[in-house]
Structure 1
Amino acid sequence: MNKIAKFVLIFSIIYIFVIVCLSGLGIIENKLYPRYEGSMPVLARFSYGFANPNALAAFLFQIACCLVYLKWNHWNIMENFLILLLFWVIYSFLNCRTVSILIMLLLILVNLCKYKLKDKSIIFLKYFSLFSLIFCPFFSFLTVILYGKANSSAALISDLLSHRIRNLFFSLNYYDISIFGNIYHRHKDFLIVDNAYGNIFIHFGVLVFILYMVLYLIAINYTIKFKNVPFLILLTVYLYYGIMEGYIINPYSNFTIFIFSIMFYNRNLLTSDKTECM
């Protein structure tokens, strides 16, 4: 796993550097994405050559995840500083609230497990990860149902999540629920589904959604069995990422997909790096 994490870390850094440089030279367009409050633009956000600011934030978040895994046994003040630096870049330059929150969640879990819980961390993460696996998709769809019933709390949550609940509500009503999914076109604003669980459900169908959740459960159970604390933290945080973005189902922005795909063929992968918290 260390080799995979190192490769992803190096690739992500080089890729970001190249794209941002090409954007600065004007070869790739630096798109403007204003943040709106109601109908009024209140903040200018730039893509720096990526499809949108959130796409760049996804790669920066992946760098943070790689650092957590690779530096777990030697985690100290410098590693905390690097994660906080990534948080500052994501929040100040990209104004990506989703990844900013997730970076802080990642940092809290790392320090909680590393210094406070220590050898009890795997017990805490066992229950927290299994709870998160149920909570994240349940919260997504329950909020959509409540939004459809004109629930004020659901409407407020949708506003806080940049209308993601509203978009998912309209999309679920626009497309028929299918076992094998739908031909999915991102051609209208309200059909842009930035919720991974809704995206899988609509695009790939009920069968793939169930399969994805079962495989994620198996991955969590394997990780618990081998007491690989840093990887369990990453699996858990990416579940919350799925509430607000669809990037967790893209292998290029979620290297844990590579790892738990390989893991089904090599169950000893999780123990090969000796990163477990003892």
Structure 2
Amino acid sequence: MYNIKSKAFTLNDVLFILSILIFNAVYTFFAAVKYSSGEDYYFYYLYSMFFLILVQIVIFFSQGHTFYEIAEAMLIFSLFSIGTFSYRDITPLFGVLTLLSARLVKISLKKVITIDFIFRLILLVLVVVLWSSGYLLDSQFTRNVSDGIILRHTYGFANPNTFGLFMVAILGEGIYLFWNRGRLSVHVLFSIVILYGINKVTDSRSALIIGFLLISLLLLHRILLKINLTFLSWIPIITFSISAFFANFVNKNSLLWIKLDDVLSNRLLFNSFFWETTPKSLFGHRIVQVTNEQALNSYGLLTGKILTNFYLTIFLGFGFVGIIIVLYLFTYTIRTLLKNGLHLEVIIFSLYLVLGLIENSVLNIFINWSLLLIINEKRCEHNTINTHQFDFKNISIKKGE
């Protein structure tokens, strides 16, 4: 066992980091990209996920949790697993387990983010190399706008939104790691240039929104960190309530609803459709969705309908139990970050929860790197964003441990 400034990290912590890196790699090459050969490797993704979930379970039970924490985790895992079989998507379950096991990871948070940041850059380079070599497709999408048609590129990824959000995840981790190093104006200008490039290539509104919010945080952090942020603990409930309200109660013929739905690429219309057509139950149902590609290949027989609201996806796909679990975990995470004085982290985490109004990937670490911000929840309460350091000079190896 190794000691780092009186904190020890174990094999479990190393396994945790490896599980995150392997997940990102597996999701990249088995789920997020599109091969020129037309081969679908999603089953390889599923097989890999079963293994990674088993690893996360082993990590959790080896961390020395209390009896109450173990009982809580077993209940959450058992109930959410039922919803997983109903909805038939295993990715959110891995996100839930990550939130549970990350609590007692003792390696410096910034060290973990740094490793993930570097690994994501490597994955991006590999995807671009495979695309330029002809192994991956640039699945070009189009968007009709008032002054013409916008061409959206993927450069190896299957969808421009996936490409854009992955790029913004890299940008977000970069902002988090380097925000207090060097001149703020340089960081802001550099981030704006990168976000402009991402938007120019992918025209992903989701990526543009979360990227804009992260850059705004970079600009306004000194003001925001002086504000009492306890209200953010209500964000999970507020975002779910907004989602249900717009899907069920808002007049769809109102000018506001029509304009907002147009800006959000028919997301509000699809939310209402799935709310009305999917039964509500304790553990959810499978949600039959039609992608734009499937609609095009059907020669007019099908119309594209995708549920991109995270909270409605969990509520309808995982049921009442699933949404209660998710709201509890998110609220717990925010309150824990606030208790530890991690204001920057809690704002970033909350921004991604707000993104859940238009993207259903809040529990997907490939998109939402802020799930890692709960790492080592039992750090000292006086810790702040300025005290996240990782000093290799203080590493010592004790015999017999």
TM-score bracket for the superposition, by shorter chain length: 0.7 to 0.9
Which of 191, 195, 208 is the equivalent residue of 1:87?
Answer: 195
1:175 matched residue in structure 2: 278
Q: Does 1:55 align with 2:158?
A: no
Q: Using the alignment, how far apart are the partners of 2:143 and 2:380 within structure 1?
A: 42
Q: Does 1:35 align with 2:143?
A: yes
**How do 1:1-278 and structure 2 match up within 5 A?**
1-37=109-145, 42-74=149-181, 76-114=184-222, 116=223, 120-121=226-227, 123=228, 125-127=229-231, 129-130=232-233, 132-147=235-250, 150-187=253-290, 189-260=303-374, 262-263=375-376, 266-268=377-379, 274-275=385-386
Q: Using the alignment, how far apart are the partners of 1:138 and 1:51 within structure 2?
A: 31
Q: Using the alignment, how far apart are the partners of 2:387 and 2:340 within structure 1?
A: 8
Does the CA contact (< 8 Å) of 1:54 and 1:94 recur in 2? yes
User: Deviation of residue 223 (structure 1)?
Assistant: 0.9
Does the CA contact (< 8 Å) of 1:110 and 1:233 recur in 2? no
Q: Using the alignment, how far apart are the partners of 1:269 and 1:209 within structure 2?
A: 31
Q: Using the alignment, how far apart are the partners of 1:145 and 1:138 within structure 2?
A: 11
Q: Secondary structure at the match of 1:236?
A: helix
Distance 1:41 1:50, change over 3 A: farther
Describe the superposition over 1:200-221 as per-residue Cα deviations: whole angstroms up to 9, x where unpaired.
1122112111211111111111
Q: Using the alignment, how far apart are the partners of 2:262 and 2:115 within structure 1?
A: 38
Higher RCO (C-alpha under 8 Å, 6+ residues apart)? 2
Q: Using the alignment, how far apart are the partners of 1:42 and 1:147 within structure 2?
A: 30
Distance 1:270 1:182, change over 3 A: farther
User: Deviation of residue 31 (structure 1)?
Assistant: 0.4
Q: Secondary structure at the match of 1:244?
A: coil
User: Deviation of residue 139 (structure 1)?
Assistant: 2.1
Distance 1:130 1:174, change over 3 A: same
Does the CA contact (< 8 Å) of 1:34 and 1:45 recur in 2? yes
Describe the superposition over 1:12-67 as per-residue Cα deviations: whole angstroms up to 9, x where unpaired.
111112112222222111101111359x9721111111121110111111112212
Distance 1:239 1:270, change over 3 A: farther
User: Deviation of residue 270 (structure 1)?
Assistant: 8.4
Q: Using the alignment, how far apart are the partners of 2:368 and 2:197 within structure 1?
A: 19
Does the CA contact (< 8 Å) of 2:164 and 2:207 recur in 1? yes
How many residue pairs get aligned? The number is: 268
Larger radius of gyration: 2
Q: Using the alignment, how far apart are the partners of 1:63 and 1:14 within structure 2?
A: 11
Describe the superposition over 1:76-133 as per-residue Cα deviations: whole angstroms up to 9, x where unpaired.
223222321221112211111222122222222232122x455x14x1x333x23543
* Percent identity of equivalent pairs: 23
Distance 1:276 1:164, change over 3 A: farther
Gaps of at least 5 residues in structure 1 are none
Q: Using the alignment, how far apart are the partners of 1:155 and 1:168 within structure 2?
A: 13
Q: Using the alignment, how far apart are the partners of 1:271 and 1:96 within structure 2?
A: 39
TM-score of the aligned structures, taking structure 2 as reference length? 0.61
RMSD of aligned alpha carbons: 2.6
User: Deviation of residue 155 (structure 1)?
Assistant: 2.5
Q: Using the alignment, how far apart are the partners of 2:156 and 2:244 within structure 1?
A: 33
Point out the structure with the larger helix share. Answer: 1
TM-score of the aligned structures, taking structure 1 as reference length? 0.85
Q: Secondary structure at the match of 1:43?
A: strand
Given residue 334 of structure 2, which amino acid in structure 1 is its aligned partner? I
2:25 matched residue in structure 1: none
Q: Using the alignment, how far apart are the partners of 1:24 and 1:190 within structure 2?
A: 30
